[in-house]
């Protein structure tokens, strides 16, 4: 990955963070906004929000057009992450709690506020003078599907079942890993890229190409998250996935492909 590509990602991520900081001021009720602020910014990085912005820019949209969707994606990721780490009694391999200061109740309630807050940002981002309502509603549908019963929650449930089967040990079944990467990070990044494309004014074909590109980017991220760079077989698979991802970008010849292609490399 070139210096340019890396600084492109960094500049989008910084813009999303600055946008979120403006949106979540420390205002009343402080008992909700203060932990919401902490939970929003303490979450491990996830490339889906930045990919959403990059997809919007690739198809000629302005960065600001995708900013609400990127913020919503980040908030939903942070909410899901916090709930995933809630200390519950029936988790076979409980993840370490990330917000011990607050206790389980706040870790349950505050993410329940972050999700509607994300939808509010999206709905308010509509600009009736620019005739964007249809695009915004489509993005709300896309995001709802990826976070709903056939999306993220299905993936988290499978992860839970695999944890139970596995008796609490590390995963080493390649097929299972691929399946989880597809259902969790794959779906999320596919949705993020498609949303960015829609908001940037892409046509249907461009949107679907970017959705597939996002899917492969997500699966790569899933592998890196799960097995790191240690396992050679997985690394081979990452190379294959990268080639599949980059192939989707061939549809965008003549456009600024270099910037968005960086997402197919681990960073």
Q: Which residues bind a copy of itself (CB under 8 A)?
A: 29, 31-33, 36, 79-80, 83, 86-91, 103-106, 108-110, 112-117, 119-120, 122-124, 126, 128, 133-134, 136-138, 140-141, 143-145, 147-154, 156-157, 160-161
Q: In this structure, what DSSP letter does residue 182 have?
A: I
- Helix orientation angle between 152-165 and 187-200, rounded to the nearest 10 degrees: 170
Distance (Å, rounded) from C-alpha 179 to C-alpha 158?
Answer: 9
Would you tell me how many other CB atoms lie within 10 Å of the CB of residue 149? 9
User: Which is closer to a copy of itself, CB of 20 or CB of 245?
Assistant: 20
Supply the minimum distance, in Å, between the C-beta of residue 239 and a copy of itself: 31
User: Which is closer to a copy of itself, CB of 116 or CB of 168?
Assistant: 116
Supply the minimum distance, in Å, between the C-beta of residue 107 and a copy of itself: 9
User: Which is closer to a copy of itself, CB of 163 or CB of 235?
Assistant: 163
Nearest to 92 by CA among 32, 156, 10, 168: 168
Supply the minimum distance, in Å, between the C-beta of residue 178 and a copy of itself: 18
User: Which is closer to a copy of itself, CB of 53 or CB of 143?
Assistant: 143
Q: Is residue 71 within 8 Å of residue 265, measured between CB atoms?
A: no
Supply the minimum distance, in Å, between the C-beta of residue 177 and a copy of itself: 19
User: Which is closer to a copy of itself, CB of 48 or CB of 147?
Assistant: 147
Q: Is residue 141 within 8 Å of residue 147, measured between CB atoms?
A: no
Supply the minimum distance, in Å, between the C-beta of residue 104 and a copy of itself: 4
Q: How far is CA 213 from CA 31, 109, 111, 147, in A?
A: 40, 35, 29, 19
Residue at token pair 């200390």: 87
């Amino acid at each position: 990955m070139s210096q340019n590509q890396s600084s492109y990602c960094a500049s989008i991520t910084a813009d999303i963070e600055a946008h979120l900081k403006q949106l979540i001021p420390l205002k009343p009720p402080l008992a909700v906004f203060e932990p919401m602020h902490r939970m929003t910014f303490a979450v491990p990085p996830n490339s889906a929000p930045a990919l959403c912005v990059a997809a919007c820019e690739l198809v000629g949209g302005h960065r600001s057009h995708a900013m609400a969707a990127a913020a919503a994606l980040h908030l939903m990721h942070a909410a899901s992450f916090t709930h995933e780490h809630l200390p519950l009694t029936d988790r076979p391999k409980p993840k370490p709690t990330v917000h011990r200061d607050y206790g389980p109740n706040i870790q349950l309630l505050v993410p329940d506020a972050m999700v509607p807050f994300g939808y509010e940002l999206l709905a308010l981002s509509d600009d009736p003078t620019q005739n964007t309502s249809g695009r915004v509603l489509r993005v709300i549908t896309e995001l709802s599907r990826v976070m709903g019963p056939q999306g993220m929650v299905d993936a988290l449930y499978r992860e839970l079942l695999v944890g139970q089967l596995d008796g609490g040990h590390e995963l080493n079944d390649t097929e299972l890993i691929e399946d989880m990467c597809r259902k969790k990070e794959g779906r999320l990044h596919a949705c993020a890229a498609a949303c960015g494309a829609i908001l940037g004014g892409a046509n249907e074909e461009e949107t679907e190409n970017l959705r597939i590109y996002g899917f492969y980017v997500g699966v790569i991220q899933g592998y890196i998250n799960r097995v790191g760079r240690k396992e050679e077989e997985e690394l081979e698979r990452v190379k294959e996935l990268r080639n599949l991802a980059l192939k989707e970008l061939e549809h965008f010849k003549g456009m600024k492909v270099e910037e968005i292609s960086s997402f197919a490399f681990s960073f």
